[in-house]
């Protein structure tokens, strides 16, 4: 009986129980949700130009990466631009332009080769093949390629005949394309419309009957109708759900933290305290700011914690409470100062600095857990239009990372200071961020990754710079990544378990 | 605009008070009592009631979908009820004679059927406007555009949103299996033998076929609907209006009817179980380890093809799974309910230190949230992705915990929020769930290794002023 009872040991970083002796049966169990993918999946876009293929590709990739599925976009247009340095005009895309056809096919094949490398060498799980793929012949090539390599294929076709949508599309993303740099606007539009005509002649949409054995979703007119065929597995089901929830209606998302809280002032993490006097002032200022913005049909969301609710109360409009927006659970470290954590749990403190994204507090959560908890919030944010989310530091970092496509390494160090509203407006393929500091002073709660005092030039100054000043001005929206700080070498970072306590506390912000 | 230097005088925001049961912060009135209307983020926010209307020939799974969808929506706390027009017809026409009732030229029959539909719509109106219902599922063939127009007008007059769910299927095998599963046992065919019933039913279907007008991409482009083709091979989704319709579409696209079994059980008896302590992250006791071995034998003997095994991320479920010798997936969402400040306490200690909390829990065990912990209501929300994935999967063994298992079981067996926290899920017992007809067959298999009882019934006295003995009356024995 005993040989079956392999002893379990708890991985110190993620607090995951694993068999002590690594068995063949062991698969990656590090995250809070099982990884439901076996074979890699190719998502293949289909559609005429200006139908939103690249928009969908980039957005979908951003979403999948955020929920932990390694995904990459392969835009064949990019390959073409690298092959043909200067774009002259639409004639390149004429179906009778044999020279160009050869180049375009070569680009597609080159992209497919890179897809293969991504799956086999880079451990990618999903590759989005962004091109028109408007002929059956081209799709057959892709299907054979996938079959030979054991990849699943899911087609995403965007069909649109609304001239207004197409015109808006051209304005948003084509006029600024490298292809039309230095072109007069009217010329660019005229050329692009002729480009579309080149494809129309040979366009064969996915067909209900002929393509009945393929897995695909057909999106009509930016989402008023969908045709979904043969969803094969979990990830395709999630992709379909996501695509059916996104929209392109212009809107704005406001993210901010609760006002400064009593525990913030004391430098203590977590807990469920109320607002400090300055926090209350912020709540009033927030109300004033929001009213000033004159936002139609604004929804306000808070967590279940007192400080966000108190803040929303200051706005004076109805709000909805989401438990999923609660701050990260610091488990045994709840309500401690960083100094106390260093004193009582120095190993934990060091582990957290080693991998802040995956580190799980004992009896608490990790940033990775947070992301999974927040997924329904993101899904609903996609469905909604104008929303103000009043939340917490770690939560806001996760949401921001989704909108700004930040990696797991960057996410836990994004700067989300108190009393600063981030106004996010979707534009072109991404998101415009306007930080708005509401001019009420507050403590700084941002703790950077500690660095060795005698590290290479360029890194130490950064750490000292980041250390103290209370945030009186809007933060840049990109926290310096480790390579930027020249910190690829772990020895330059002071994250070892045996480090000096004073070094551990080097980057702790000031507090009472 | 101001330069920001001006003092922002805080508008007196309302004072907050924490509701003692759910631990929700809400603004209170001057007298300290909480304001009534607080928007708790329930998973499905919709501003007006929704009427789901099924469409399709007989034996296309409309009632199966209606019941399953109703069960799911109620589980995620969206009050939903189904209205099956066939039921109304059976109450009106006491005895079913033959398919002739459904002939399109049977005027008497048509009159009765129209009356039944109206009666059902009346009840729908009552449910959605007077009984706090949020979703009503109108289960009938609704195969003509005319009938659907009537329903649409009814909904518009009452301020309900309408979402059609059409099931289209021409596969004779699927239809035959459908008839075997649910028609032969129908009250309509109680006195018939199998052949007679099948023959009559096939003729019944024929009666509808001529006048059937399926939802059309073009003609019905203004309607909100999902067309399910060939039991989920293909879907056509049109004009999803809001959150709840989006969730319904997602759910319908994940369910299937492939026969399979779901096995639910708890971890083996743990060291804390033996001491009568709740929560924590302890390992298995000796008897728990024996159970793990027995579970392995049981599972092997069942010879289940392609079995997936899921555990929580707590030591005791993982130890149990390890004994099976097969790969398993860990879900954090399957972790036991977080008892907050009461973690690792005995019930006697909870009564001693937090008698108020203990009483509140007995008063409303479903909604009660432990201080700094969770409620059953929170658990259900946390488990929703697990249920969704269970629907997608086929054969699965879920090794979890008492409160978690109660939530999952309540979903499969359609138990109410009141019943859920008291469902019996004893240690060392596997529940084998097999979908059959419109519901789920349950087989309970005790693996013959003794364990402590961890089930605490609701005591009679749940008042905060009760005596200690009354509170501890139903605590199960422990070391």
Per-residue model confidence as pLDDT tens digits over B355-364: 999 999 999 9
Contact: B283, A17; criterion CB under 8 Å: no
pLDDT digits (tens, 9 = 90+) for A448-467: 988 754 433 333 333 333 32
Contact: B313, A1; criterion CB under 8 Å: no
- CA nearest B254 in A: which residue? A237
pLDDT digits (tens, 9 = 90+) for B409-438: 999 999 999 999 999 999 999 999 999 888
Per-residue model confidence (pLDDT) at position B303: 95
Residues, chain B: 479
Per residue, what are the HEC states of B23-52? CCEEEECCCCCECCCCCECCCCCCCCCEEE
Cα radius of gyration rounded to whole Å, chain B: 26
- CA nearest B311 in A: which residue? A34
- The partner residues of B83 in beta bridges, in order of sequence, read B138
Per-residue model confidence (pLDDT) at position A219: 97
Q: Is-catalytic flag, A160?
A: yes
> Is residue A369 within 8 Å of residue A356, measured between CB atoms?
no
- How far CA A25 is from CA of A334, B276, B311, in Å, comes to 36, 34, 15
Cα(B246)–Cα(A19) distance, integer angstroms: 41
The residues, ordered by sequence, that sit 6+ positions from A458 with a Cβ below 8 Å of its Cβ are A485, A486
Distance of CA A140 to the CA centre of its chain: 32
In the numeric block, the tokens 């199960």 are attached to: B476
The residues, ordered by sequence, that sit 6+ positions from A253 with a Cβ below 8 Å of its Cβ are A381, A386, A387, A388, A389, A403, A423, A424, A425
pLDDT classification of B35: cutoffs 50, 70, 90: low
Say if B241 is an interface residue toward chain A (CB within 8 Å).
Answer: no
Cα(A116)–Cα(A400) distance, integer angstroms: 31
Cα(B96)–Cα(B101) distance, integer angstroms: 8
Cα(B75)–Cα(B43) distance, integer angstroms: 11
Contact: B249, A280; criterion CB under 8 Å: no
Cα radius of gyration rounded to whole Å, chain A: 25
* Two structure tokens written together for A441: 């002073």
Per-residue model confidence (pLDDT) at position B468: 95
pLDDT digits (tens, 9 = 90+) for B298-308: 999 999 999 99
Weakest-pLDDT range from A408-422, A470-484, B122-136? A470-484
Contact: A1, B290; criterion CB under 8 Å: yes
CB < 8 Å to A440, chain B: 8
Greater model confidence, A110 or A9? A110
Give the rounded percent of residues in chain A with a pLDDT score beyond 90. 72
Average pLDDT, chain B: 92
Say if A37 is an interface residue toward chain B (CB within 8 Å).
Answer: no
Is the per-residue pLDDT at A5 higher than 90? no
Weakest-pLDDT range from A18-22, A327-331, B320-324, B446-450? A18-22
CB < 8 Å to B10, chain A: 280-281, 283-284, 314
Q: DSSP letters of A434-458?
A: EEEE-S--------PPPB-TTPPTT
Greater model confidence, B421 or B14? B421
Instruction: Identify which of A5, A26, A288 has the shortest CB distance to residue B289.
Output: A5
- How far off is chain B from A304, nearest CA to CA, in Å? 7
Is the per-residue pLDDT at B222 higher than 70? yes
pLDDT classification of B107: cutoffs 50, 70, 90: very high
- How far off is chain B from A91, nearest CA to CA, in Å? 37
Interface test with A, best of B170, B332, B370, B385 (most A CBs within 10 A): B332
> Is residue A228 within 8 Å of residue A205, measured between CB atoms?
no
Residue of A14, A107, A130, A375 marked catalytic: A130
Per-residue model confidence (pLDDT) at position A473: 29
Is the per-residue pLDDT at A225 higher than 80? yes
CB < 8 Å to B325, chain A: 4, 25
Per-residue b/e over B208-243, b at no fewer than 16 CB within 10 Å?
beeeeeebeeeebeebbbbbbbebbebbbbbbbebb
Tell which B residues from 376 to 415 touch A, by Cβ distance under 8 Å: 378, 381, 385, 389, 392
Tell which A residues from 428 to 467 touch B, by Cβ distance under 8 Å: 438-440
Cα(B320)–Cα(B400) distance, integer angstroms: 10
* Two structure tokens written together for B398: 């879920």
Instruction: Identify which of A5, A288, A321 has the shortest CB distance to residue B8.
Output: A288
β-strand B439-446 against B308-311: which pairing, if any? unpaired
Weakest-pLDDT range from A356-370, A488-502, B75-89, B191-205? A488-502
Contact: A369, B249; criterion CB under 8 Å: no
> Is residue B47 within 8 Å of residue B30, measured between CB atoms?
no
- How far off is chain A from B161, nearest CA to CA, in Å? 17
Cα(A308)–Cα(A171) distance, integer angstroms: 39
Contact: A226, B325; criterion CB under 8 Å: no
Tell which A residues from 216 to 245 touch B, by Cβ distance under 8 Å: 224-231, 234, 237, 240-241, 244-245
Q: Is-catalytic flag, A130?
A: yes
- The partner residues of A263 in beta bridges, in order of sequence, read none
- CA nearest A365 in B: which residue? B332
Cα(A13)–Cα(A357) distance, integer angstroms: 10
Weakest-pLDDT range from A429-438, A490-499, B381-390, B425-434? A490-499
* Two structure tokens written together for B94: 């006491």
C-alpha count within 13 angstroms, C-beta hemisphere, residue A291 = 12
pLDDT classification of B12: cutoffs 50, 70, 90: low
* Residues of B acting as catalytic residues: 139, 169, 267, 336
Q: Residue B37's CB: how many other CB atoms inside 10 A?
A: 7
Interface test with B, best of A4, A8, A17 (most B CBs within 10 A): A17
Cα(A443)–Cα(A265) distance, integer angstroms: 6
Per-residue model confidence (pLDDT) at position B32: 59
Is the per-residue pLDDT at A481 higher than 60? no
pLDDT digits (tens, 9 = 90+) for A134-166: 999 999 999 999 999 999 999 999 999 899 989
Instruction: Identify which of A245, A282, A284 has the shortest CB distance to residue B246.
Output: A245
pLDDT classification of A468: cutoffs 50, 70, 90: very low
| Helical residues (DSSP H) of B332-397, grouped into ranges | 347-353, 355-363, 376-392
Q: What is the mean pLDDT of residues B99-120?
A: 94
- How far off is chain B from A34, nearest CA to CA, in Å? 6
Q: DSSP letters of B242-253?
A: SHHHHHHHHHHT
ipTM for the complex shown: 0.91
Q: Which of A251, A276, A252 is nearest to A262 (CA)?
A: A276
- CA nearest A231 in B: which residue? B233
Q: What torsion do the CA atoms of B76, B77, B79, B84 make, to the nearest 10 degrees?
A: 20
Is the per-residue pLDDT at A273 higher than 80? yes
Is the per-residue pLDDT at A252 higher than 90? yes
Q: What is the mean pLDDT of residues A177-202?
A: 91
Per-residue model confidence (pLDDT) at position B17: 85
Cα(B311)–Cα(B299) distance, integer angstroms: 15
Per-residue model confidence (pLDDT) at position A451: 74
CB < 8 Å to A34, chain B: 310, 329-331
Is the per-residue pLDDT at B367 higher than 80? yes
> Is residue A327 within 8 Å of residue A393, measured between CB atoms?
yes
């Amino acid at each position: 009986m005993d040989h079956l009872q392999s002893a379990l040991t708890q991985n110190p970083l993620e607090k995951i129980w694993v068999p002590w002796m690594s068995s063949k049966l062991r698969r990656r169990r590090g995250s809070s949700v099982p990884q439901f993918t076996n074979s890699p999946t190719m998502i293949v876009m289909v559609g005429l130009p200006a139908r939103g293929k690249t928009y969908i590709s980039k957005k979908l990739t951003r979403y999948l990466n955020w929920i932990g599925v390694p995904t990459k976009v392969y835009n064949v247009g990019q390959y073409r631009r690298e092959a043909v340095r200067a774009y002259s005009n639409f004639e390149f895309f004429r179906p009778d332009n044999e020279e160009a056809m050869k180049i375009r096919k070569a680009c597609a094949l080159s992209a497919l080769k890179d897809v293969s490398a991504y799956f086999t060498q880079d451990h990618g799980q999903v590759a989005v093949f962004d091109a028109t793929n408007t002929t059956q012949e081209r799709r057959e090539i892709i299907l054979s390629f996938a079959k030979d390599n054991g990849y699943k294929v899911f087609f995403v076709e965007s069909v649109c005949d609304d001239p207004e949508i197409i015109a808006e599309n051209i304005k948003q993303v084509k006029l600024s394309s490298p292809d039309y740099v230095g072109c007069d606007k009217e010329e660019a539009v005229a050329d692009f419309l002729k480009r579309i005509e080149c494809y129309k002649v040979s366009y064969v949409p996915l067909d209900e009957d002929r393509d009945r054995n393929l897995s695909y979703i057909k999106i009509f007119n930016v989402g008023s109708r969908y045709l979904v065929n043969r969803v094969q597995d979990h990830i395709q089901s999630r992709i379909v759900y996501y695509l059916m929830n996104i929209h392109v209606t212009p809107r704005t998302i406001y993210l901010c933290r609760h006002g400064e809280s009593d525990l913030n002032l004391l430098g203590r993490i977590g807990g469920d305290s109320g607002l400090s006097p300055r926090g209350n002032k912020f709540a009033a200022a927030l109300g004033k700011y929001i009213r000033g913005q004159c936002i139609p049909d604004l929804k306000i969301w808070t967590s279940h914690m007192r400080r966000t609710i108190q803040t929303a109360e200051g706005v004076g409009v109805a709000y909805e409470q989401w438990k999923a927006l609660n701050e990260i659970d610091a488990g045994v470290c709840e309500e401690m100062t960083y100094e106390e954590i260093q004193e009582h749990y120095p190993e934990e403190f060091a582990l957290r600095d080693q991998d802040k994204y995956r580190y799980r507090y004992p009896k608490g959560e990790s940033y990775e857990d947070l992301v999974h908890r927040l997924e329904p919030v993101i899904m609903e944010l996609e469905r909604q239009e104008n929303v103000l989310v009043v939340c917490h530091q770690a939560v806001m970092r996760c949401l921001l990372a989704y909108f700004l496509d930040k990696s797991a390494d960057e996410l836990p160090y994004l700067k989300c200071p108190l009393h600063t509203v981030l106004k996010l407006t979707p534009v072109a393929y991404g998101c415009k961020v306007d930080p708005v500091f509401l001019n009420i002073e507050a403590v700084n709660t941002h703790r950077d990754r500690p660095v060795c005092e005698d590290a290479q030039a360029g890194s130490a100054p950064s750490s000292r710079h980041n250390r103290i000043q209370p945030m009186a001005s809007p933060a840049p929206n990109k926290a310096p990544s480790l390579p930027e700080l020249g910190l690829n070498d772990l020895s330059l970072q002071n994250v070892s378990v045996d480090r000096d306590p004073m070094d551990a506390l080097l980057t702790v912000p000031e507090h009472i | 605009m101001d330069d920001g230097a001006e003092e922002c005088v805080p508008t007196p925001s309302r004072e907050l008070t924490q509701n003692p049961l759910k631990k929700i912060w809400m603004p209170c009135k001057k007298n300290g009592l909480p304001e009534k209307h607080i928007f708790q983020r329930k998973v499905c926010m919709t501003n007006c009631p929704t009427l789901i209307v099924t469409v399709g020939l007989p034996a296309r799974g409309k009632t199966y979908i209606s019941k399953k969808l109703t069960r799911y929506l109620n589980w995620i706390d969206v009050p939903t009820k189904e209205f099956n027009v066939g039921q109304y017809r059976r109450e009106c026409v006491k005895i079913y004679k033959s398919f002739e009732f459904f002939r399109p030229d049977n005027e008497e029959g048509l009159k009765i059927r129209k009356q039944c539909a109206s009666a059902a719509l009346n009840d729908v109106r009552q449910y959605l406007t007077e009984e706090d219902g949020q979703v009503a599922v109108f289960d009938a063939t609704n195969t003509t555009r005319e009938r659907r127009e009537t329903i649409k007008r009814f909904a518009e007059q009452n301020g309900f949103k309408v979402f059609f769910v059409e099931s289209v299927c021409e596969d004779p095998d699927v239809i035959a299996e459908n008839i075997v599963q649910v028609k032969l046992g129908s009250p309509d065919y109680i006195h018939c033998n199998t052949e007679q019933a099948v023959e009559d039913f096939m003729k019944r279907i024929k009666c509808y076929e001529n006048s059937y007008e399926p939802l059309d991409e073009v003609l019905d482009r203004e309607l909100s609907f999902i067309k399910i083709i060939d039991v989920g091979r293909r879907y056509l989704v049109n004009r999803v209006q809001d959150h709840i319709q989006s969730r319904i579409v997602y759910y319908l696209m994940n369910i299937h009817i492939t026969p399979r079994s779901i096995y639910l059980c708890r971890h083996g008896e743990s060291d804390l179980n033996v001491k009568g302590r709740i929560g924590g992250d302890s390992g298995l006791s000796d008897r728990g380890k024996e159970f793990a071995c027995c579970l392995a034998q049981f599972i092997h003997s069942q010879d289940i093809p392609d079995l997936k095994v899921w555990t929580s991320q707590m030591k005791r479920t993982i130890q149990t799974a390890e004994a099976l010798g097969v790969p398993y997936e860990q879900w954090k969402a399957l972790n036991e309910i977080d008892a907050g400040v009461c973690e690792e306490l005995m019930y006697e200690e909870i009564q001693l230190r937090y008698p108020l909390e203990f009483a509140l829990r007995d008063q409303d065990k479903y909604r009660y949230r432990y201080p700094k912990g969770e409620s059953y209501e929170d658990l259900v929300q946390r488990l929703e992705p697990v249920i969704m994935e269970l629907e997608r999967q086929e054969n699965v063994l879920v090794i979890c915990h008492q409160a978690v298992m109660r939530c999952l079981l309540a979903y499969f067996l359609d138990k109410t929020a009141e019943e859920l926290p008291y469902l019996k899920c004893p240690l060392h017992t596997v529940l084998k769930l097999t979908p059959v007809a419109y519901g789920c067959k349950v087989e309970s298999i005790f693996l013959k290794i003794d364990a402590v009882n961890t089930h605490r019934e609701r005591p009679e006295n749940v008042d905060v002023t009760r005596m200690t003995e009354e509170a501890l009356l139903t605590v199960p024995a422990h070391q």
